[in-house]
């Protein structure tokens, strides 16, 4: 029987979880338009309706809140999903999505699991004892039942192969690509747009900027994103040509990307940072770490490599200090994303994977 429905299950749609649930629904409209495949986003913890409206989750993707397998069975029956034509995709770990994916697998549905970098070595080291116990008692066994695990980078796939014997398929995240607009170079904007979390490397970035770029004419660092404990640490560096503007969404975010020239993410660990691809689609030149798991940037000479350390970031900023913005490199970044990470490109890869899994015995 042909694939008709895809059910994506995420833990929540909080703003800080934007990367996960946004990646979950990416390509759904394309699959609907071209292949008549309907997609649904089921949320384990919905919260209140006002919070959902603020983050603009498309209403057509919203399912009801699910806090137990019993609630899930009720929802399945109400939806009248046929087992042979419906695929289950769960996103993230350490929560209800994995439990619900396993339950649906036991009911006969095919199940794809996507950890979104949550099982990367650096992430596993954080609160390691608690994770080690839970992973070895539960998560590893449950995920071993999945029909396929989707990695979002080759490096993540390599790390997952050390943990599981399940089939692992690599499909990167994608973005919608708009026409490239010319950027004014009167003032070069360096943009950090991510959660202000330790693993994102925001503190060594702020320190390196203070040492190398503070007061340099025509250069400015904009820090955007919700605070998760690092704002108090970087406050001494929020002066001169450094500005923290808080989280940005919608048109405010798009306008910022159109104006910015460089995108900096000296992260310790990522699954695959959609924010970097999105920035490149607006012609920003990436300055990222190996922890971002986006080796193509380095292999294709599309940007600059840093590590989440003061000296490494200083070295790259020193190189760029007297360097004019390279519009040719900016265009190559836009062109790369248009060819490799556009909605059509990624959705077609997802379609092939989904059809193969549903059709397999």
Q: Are residues 45 and 161 in the same domain?
A: yes
Query: Are residues 183 and 261 in contact, defined by beta-carbon separation less than 8 angstroms?
Result: yes
In a domain, 136, yes or no: yes
Element (DSSP H or E) covering residue 137: none
Please state, in angstroms and rounded to a whole number, the distance separating the CA atoms of residues 168 and 180.
34
The rounded distance, in Å, linking the Cα atoms of 28 and 15 is: 20
SS3 248: coil
Task: Flag whether 118 is in a domain.
Answer: yes
Residue with tokens 């309706």: 49
Q: How many of the other CB atoms lie within 10 Å of CB of 345?
A: 19
Other C-beta atoms closer than 10 Å to the C-beta of 145 total 14
Q: How many domains does the chain have?
A: 2
315 with 202, same domain?
A: yes
The CATH code of the domain that includes 93 is 3.40.50.2000
**Gyration radius from the chain CA atoms:** 21
Give the DSSP H or E segment for 172. none
Task: Tell me, yes or no, whether 113 and 241 share the same domain.
Answer: no
Residue 131 is assigned to a structural domain of this protein: yes
Which of these, 292, 184, 194, lies nearest to 245 by C-alpha position? 194
**How far is 190 from 195, CA to CA, in rounded Å?**
16
Q: What are phi and psi of 76, to 5 degrees?
A: -60, -45
Distance between CA atoms of residues 337 and 319, nearest Å? 25
| Separation between Cα atoms, residue 279 and residue 214, nearest integer Å | 24
Q: What is the structure's pLDDT at 71? A: 66
How many whole angstroms separate alpha carbon 294 and alpha carbon 286?
10
One domain for residues 240 and 331: yes
Residues 333 and 346 in one domain: no
Asked if residue 199 and residue 84 are part of one domain, the reply reads no
Q: How far apart are CA 26 and CA 23, in angstroms?
A: 5
Per-residue pLDDT at 69: 62
Q: Does some domain include residue 182?
A: no
Residue 181 in domain:
no
Cα-Cα end-to-end distance for the chain: 12
Domain carrying residue 330: 188-340
- The total number of residues written for the chain in this structure: 361
Q: Do residue 53 and residue 42 come from a single domain?
A: yes
75 in helix, strand or coil? helix
Residue-wise pLDDT tens for the chain (361 aa)?
589 999 898 887 776 677 787 788 889 989 999 999 988 888 877 554 444 444 444 444 555 555 666 666 677 777 778 899 999 999 988 888 898 899 899 989 999 999 998 898 888 888 889 989 988 898 888 888 999 999 998 999 999 999 888 789 999 999 999 899 999 888 999 999 999 999 999 999 999 999 999 989 999 999 999 999 999 999 999 999 999 999 998 899 999 999 999 999 999 988 888 899 999 999 999 999 999 999 999 999 999 999 999 999 999 999 999 999 999 999 999 999 999 999 999 999 999 999 999 987 5
- pLDDT of 16 reads 61
Question: Mind listing the pLDDT tens digit for each residue in 265-293?
Answer: 999 988 888 899 999 999 999 999 999 99
The reply to whether 210 and 332 lie within a common domain is yes
183: in domain: no
SS3 content of the chain, % helix, strand, coil (to 5): 50, 20, 35
Is the residue at 264 inside a domain? yes
pLDDT at 49: 44
- Same domain, residue pair 70 and 210: no
Domain identity same for 352 and 331: no
Global pTM value: 0.81
Q: What is the pLDDT of residue 174?
A: 92
Which is nearest to 3 in space by CA: 88, 90, 60, 97? Answer: 88
């Amino acid at each position: 029987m042909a694939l008709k429905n895809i059910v994506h299950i995420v833990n929540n749609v909080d703003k800080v979880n934007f990367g996960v649930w946004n990646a979950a629904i990416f390509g759904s409209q394309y699959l609907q338009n071209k292949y008549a495949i309907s997609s649904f986003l089921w949320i384990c913890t919905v919260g209140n309706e006002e919070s959902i409206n603020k983050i603009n989750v498309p209403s057509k993707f919203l399912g009801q809140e699910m806090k137990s397998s019993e609630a899930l069975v009720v929802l399945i029956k109400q939806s009248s999903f046929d087992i042979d034509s419906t695929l289950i995709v769960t996103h993230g770990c350490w929560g209800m999505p994995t439990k619900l994916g396993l339950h649906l697998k036991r009911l006969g549905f095919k199940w794809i699991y996507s950890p979104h970098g949550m099982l990367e070595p650096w992430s596993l080291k954080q609160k390691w004892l608690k994770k080690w116990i839970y992973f070895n008692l539960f998560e590893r066994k449950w995920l071993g039942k999945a029909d396929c695990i989707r990695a979002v980078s080759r490096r993540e796939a390599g790390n997952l192969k050390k943990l599981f014997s399940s089939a692992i398929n690599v499909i990167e995240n994608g973005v919608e690509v708009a026409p490239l607009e010319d950027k004014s170079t009167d003032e070069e904007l360096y943009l950090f747009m991510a959660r202000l979390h330790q693993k994102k490397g925001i503190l060594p970035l702020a320190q390196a900027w203070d040492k190398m770029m503070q007061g340099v004419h025509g250069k400015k660092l904009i820090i955007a994103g919700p605070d998760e404990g690092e704002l108090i640490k970087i406050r001494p560096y929020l002066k001169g040509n450094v500005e923290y503007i808080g989280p940005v969404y919608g048109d405010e975010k798009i306008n910022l990307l159109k104006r910015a020239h460089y995108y900096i993410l000296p992260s310790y660990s990522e699954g695959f940072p959609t924010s970097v691809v999105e920035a490149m689609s607006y012609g920003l030149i990436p300055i990222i770490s190996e922890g971002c798991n986006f080796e193509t940037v380095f292999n294709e000479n599309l940007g600059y490599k840093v590590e989440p350390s003061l000296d490494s970031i200083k070295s790259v900023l020193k190189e760029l200090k007297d360097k004019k913005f390279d519009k040719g490199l900016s265009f190559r970044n836009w062109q790369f994303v248009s060819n490799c990470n556009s909605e059509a490109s990624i959705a077609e890869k997802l379609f092939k994977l989904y059809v193969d899994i549903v059709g397999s015995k």
